[in-house]
Amino acid sequence: MSNIQNKDGDFLARRRQLLKLGAAGVPMVLTLKASATQPVHSALDCAFVIPDEVTILVDYDGKAWMGDDSIREKHGKYKTQDIERFKSNADYMFPDSTVPERFRPDECDTGQNDANGNDCGWGNDIDDPVGDNNDQDSCPADPPRETPWFEEEGEDGEPGNRPNDYSGNGNDWRHGGGGNGNGNGNGNGNGNGGWTDCYKVYKISRNTTITPADYLSGNGNWNLNGANGLYLLLAGKYLDTYGNDGGFPGISCLLSILNYLEMQ
């Protein structure tokens, strides 16, 4: 006779307790799923820590700057002077259309139109296919490039090598956008003394842990949202341009995941 059929008083009490749990909706049968791919999935387990507070500034055209300077904010507007300082001190800069619209400012109504917006993208002047650092005199120098086949024609949609799109709207983070070398006159007013709502600021506090796999759906699509999601998006953009170099926090972790997805 099995232990289970050996019904002492305690045994009956345990059954009755289980019945109460059953009445509360607790399942009585568990099905064990062995994971045939668990050793493989461990590649997705990585996480990384943002070592210092990070601020990401996004403009109306989808440009982004990443740095650690502060930006004063009042009633949803940002101090123009701080914006300019932040941009010039930024550690990383991303060109037009890098950031999907859902992360950009909702409106931009400073009423000024300086028509001097430039396109300090990552090289790729149409006349300058190798992407040196002389695209425009007003732009900061592009970081050195190691991937000569990347965006050589400066067109939207580069010969990217990863087929997986994140679920954003249009601006695939692995497909470099813009960068055609033409100033675009985008109307981002930037008088030094005032306040502007043509930007949106995202902050990630020091020691934040980001687990990229948390932003992946079961079918391998990205669901990027919030400041951490934007960080991942920019990290992916950086990765596609510069590879696993340059000390961008979390790049190795992200690379492992993108490579994993690439092979799916």
Size of the site for other proteins (CB under 8 A): 46
Dihedral sign (CA 15, 21, 23, 28): negative
Pick the closer one to other proteins by CB: 37 or 219: 37
User: By rule CB under 8 A, what string of x and - marks binding of each residue 225-264 to other proteins?
Assistant: ------------------xx-------xx-xx--xxx-xx
User: By rule CB under 8 A, what string of x and - marks binding of each residue 88-127 to other proteins?
Assistant: ----------------------------------------
Measured distance CA(190)–CA(114) in Å, rounded: 8
SS in 3 state form for 129-192?
A: CCCCCCCCCCCCCCCCCCCCCCCCCCCCCCCCCCCCCECCCCCCCCCCCCCCCCCCCCCCCCCC
Kindly state the smallest distance separating residue 248's Cβ from other proteins, in Å. 12
CA nearest neighbour of 63 among 205, 198, 244, 240: 198
Pick the closer one to other proteins by CB: 32 or 111: 32
Residue 1 interacts with other proteins (CB under 8 A): yes or no: no
CB within 8 A of 107, min separation 6: which ones?
Answer: 197
Residue 33 interacts with other proteins (CB under 8 A): yes or no: yes
Stretch that binds other proteins, among 7-15, 56-64, 152-160, 162-170 (CB under 8 A): 7-15
Inter-axis angle of helices 226-242 and 251-262, nearest 10: 80
Kindly state the smallest distance separating residue 36's Cβ from other proteins, in Å. 5
Phi and psi angles of residue 203, each rounded to the nearest 5 degrees, phi first: -125, 140
Residue 22 interacts with other proteins (CB under 8 A): yes or no: yes
Both tokens of 237, joined, read 């953009």
Residues of this chain, 139-178, that bind other proteins according to CB under 8 A: 146-147
| Residues forming the site for other proteins (CB under 8 A) | 2-5, 7, 11-12, 14-16, 18-20, 22-23, 27-40, 42-43, 45-46, 146-147, 243-244, 252-253, 255-256, 259-261, 263-264
